């Protein structure tokens, strides 16, 4: 599904990713772990198409098509979803309008009919209850005045509604209490099928107590230094990132 080959990325004059190779197939959950500043968030953002990152070398393809030249919305409508590390507040834009516009854009890109307001309200109600998001929040502007946990639940709500083929979670676990962490874990597990895939970017192993990854990759200084199965995350938790650094 996702194929990354020899990816070199910079922002301004700073080289951040220095030759990433990664292959994610349908039905898989991959965890990208690494210390601060190793390039984890850059990798997540560059897949979603954040404009300020420059691809110096290599390429990213999704379902066998290169997406390097696609805008973020075109990538999203192909089925790529990024749950933000810091979801952005959008004052004055009502949650319902935002989510419906987003859902309709996806349907439209697939030449499908937009949802009616009634249909949309019904789906929104069901998913909000599943995620445990307070219905009062749905009446507010997007993320405005939401707590850290509420913002992350909102990301999970959008993910559940958009049903992406590839979900990328950029440090979704950071700053979360145990309950919210559990919600994120449950959301990912619930949405995981043989047809889709998840890429979890995280600093800590704790989210992986709820989600068992197919593969774990350790990113150090812009390169994947080690890959393994779920056990690798546990080893890291015990031995720290210095252990990987000492191996390289």
Partner 1 sequence: MNKIKNHFENIQQIKYLNKLSGISRINELRSNGMDSFINSGFPAEISNSEKWKFSNINPIAREKFSLVSEIDKYTTTSLDNSLINHNANTNRLVFIDGQLDKNNTDIGSISDDCLISTFNNSDSKSNKIINNNLGNLINIENDIFSAINSAFINDGLLINIKKNTKITGPISLLFITTNRDKKIATFPRVLIVCEEGSESSIIEGHVSYSDQPSLNVPVVEINLNNRASLNHYRYMIDNPKGYHIANTKVSVNEKSHYNSFSFSTGSKITRNELEINMNEKYSYCNLNGLYITSDKNHIDNHININHKNTHTKSNIFYKGILKDSSKAVFSGRVLVERNAQKTQATQSDKNLLLSPNVRINTKPSLEIYADDVQCGHGATASYFGDEAMFYMQSRGIDKKTSEQLLILGFAEEIVEQIPSLSIRKFFSDILIHRSI
CB of 77 to partner 1, least distance (A): 5
CB of 103 to partner 1, least distance (A): 8
Nearest residue (CB) to partner 1, 51 versus 238: 51
Dihedrals phi, psi of 118, to nearest 5 degrees = -65, -45
CB of 62 to partner 1, least distance (A): 14
Nearest residue (CB) to partner 1, 57 versus 73: 73
CB of 97 to partner 1, least distance (A): 7
Name the residue among 61, 64, 62, 41 with its Cα closest to residue 53: 41
DSSP state of 29: E
Nearest residue (CB) to partner 1, 170 versus 216: 170
Distances (CA, A) of 1 to 27, 72, 156, 157, 199: 10, 17, 21, 23, 12
How, if at all, do strands 215-220 and 29-33 pair?
parallel
Task: Give the span between the Cα atoms of 231 and 218, in whole angstroms.
Answer: 12
CB of 231 to partner 1, least distance (A): 33
Nearest residue (CB) to partner 1, 77 versus 128: 77
CB 47 within 8 A of CB 82: yes
Task: Give the span between the Cα atoms of 175 and 158, in whole angstroms.
Answer: 19
Nearest residue (CB) to partner 1, 88 versus 178: 88
Residue bearing tokens 């009634």: 118
- Strand, coil or helix: what is 124? helix
| CA angle, 232 then 236 then 238, to 5° | 120
Residues 169-193: b if buried by 16+ CB within 10 A, e if exposed: bbbbbeebeeebbebbbbbbeeebe
Interface positions with partner 1 (CB under 8 A): 48-52, 71-73, 75-77, 81-82, 84, 87-88, 90-93, 97-98, 101-102, 105-106, 109, 141, 158, 162
Nearest residue (CB) to partner 1, 23 versus 97: 97
CB 42 within 8 A of CB 24: no
CB of 209 to partner 1, least distance (A): 28
Nearest residue (CB) to partner 1, 154 versus 202: 154
Q: What is the CA radius of gyration of the chain?
A: 18
CB of 123 to partner 1, least distance (A): 16
């Amino acid at each position: 599904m996702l194929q990354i080959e020899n990816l070199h990325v910079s922002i301004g004059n700073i080289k951040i990713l220095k030759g990433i190779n990664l292959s994610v197939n349908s039905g898989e959950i991959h965890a990208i772990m690494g210390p601060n500043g190793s390039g984890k968030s850059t990798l997540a953002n560059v897949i979603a198409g954040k404009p300020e990152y420059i691809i110096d070398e290599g390429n990213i393809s999704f379902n066998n098509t290169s997406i390097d030249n696609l805008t973020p919305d075109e990538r999203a409508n192909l089925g790529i979803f990024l749950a933000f590390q810091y979801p952005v507040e959008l004052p004055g834009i009502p949650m319902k309008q935002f989510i419906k516009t987003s859902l309709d854009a996806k349907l439209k890109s697939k030449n499908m009919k937009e949802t009616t307001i009634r249909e949309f309200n019904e789906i929104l109600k069901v998913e909000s209850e599943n995620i445990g998001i307070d219905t009062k929040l749905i009446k507010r502007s997007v993320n405005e005045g939401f707590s850290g946990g509420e913002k992350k639940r909102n990301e999970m709500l959008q993910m559940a509604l958009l049903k992406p083929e590839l979900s990328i979670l950029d440090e979704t676990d950071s700053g979360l209490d145990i309950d919210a962490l559990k919600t994120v874990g449950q959301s990912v597990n619930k949405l995981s099928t043989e047809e889709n895939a998840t890429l979890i970017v995280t600093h800590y192993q704790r989210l992986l107590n709820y989600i068992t990854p197919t593969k774990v990759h350790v990113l150090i200084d812009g390169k994947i230094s080690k890959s393994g199965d779920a056990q690798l995350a546990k080893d890291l938790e015990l031995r720290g990132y210095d252990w990987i650094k000492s191996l390289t």
